[in-house]
A = this chain, B = another copy of it.
Amino acid sequence: MPGIGPRTAQRLALHLLRQPEEKIKTFSNALLNARSQIGYCKNCFHLTSNDICEICKNNDRNKALICVVSDSRDLLALERTREYKGLYHVLGGLISPMEGISPEMLHISQLVQRVTQTETNEVILALTPSVEGDTTSLYLARLLKPFVKVTRIAYGLPVGSELEYADEVTLTRALEGRTDIE
């Protein structure tokens, strides 16, 4: 399991062996249930125990706004801001010729379908500022622009950082991405 080396594994294993059998049964069942009951939302591909996830179901959210993320962890990070009130679309990865991930392996056709079949005003691409993120953003932008307004989140100085210690690429992006001040 990620982040668990041999020593931690041994500690966890010994801890589990020391538990009463009843507790271990509950734990095993919880794992089995989680695995069998949690699937992907048919609309946005976020994790859910239903057909459609809580976010897609929520009528208080702006259904004309779709934020595209690489995976559910990024979706959860954006949810923590409590600022975004639209829907999401989870791609399930980023295009990466190096790792053999092509566009067909991601939920891209479903995104195009959503955009063309529902009333969508804007698609926000919230992908990591990396080669794969940029490639995927460009690919999606070219695909979606005939149908909808496409934007991407800002790349630049993180809040609380010092200009002095920012790397050159980030500073260059921050300069290029400068915006009119309101």
A interface residues, Cβ below 8 angstroms from B: 69-70, 73-74, 76-78, 80-84, 124-130, 137-138, 141, 145, 149-181
Contact of A126 among B152, B163, B180 (CB under 8 A): B163
- How many copies of the chain does the oligomer comprise? 2
Residue of chain B at shortest CB distance from A124: B178
- Contact assessment for B157 and A178 in the assembled complex, using a CB-CB cutoff below 8 Å: no
Contact of A161 among B126, B129, B179 (CB under 8 A): B129
- A73–B124 alpha-carbon span in the complex (Å): 35
Residue of chain B at shortest CB distance from A130: B160
- A76–B166 alpha-carbon span in the complex (Å): 11
How would you classify the secondary structure of chain A's contact residues: helix, strand, loop or mixed?
mixed
- A137–B69 alpha-carbon span in the complex (Å): 31
- Contact assessment for A151 and B181 in the assembled complex, using a CB-CB cutoff below 8 Å: yes
Residues of chain B contacted by A127 (CB below 8 angstroms): 163
- A124–B178 alpha-carbon span in the complex (Å): 8
- Contact assessment for A158 and B172 in the assembled complex, using a CB-CB cutoff below 8 Å: no
Given the contacts A81-B172, A166-B77, A178 and B159 also touching, CB distance less than 8 Å: no
- Contact assessment for B154 and A83 in the assembled complex, using a CB-CB cutoff below 8 Å: no
Residues of chain B contacted by A126 (CB below 8 angstroms): 163, 174-175
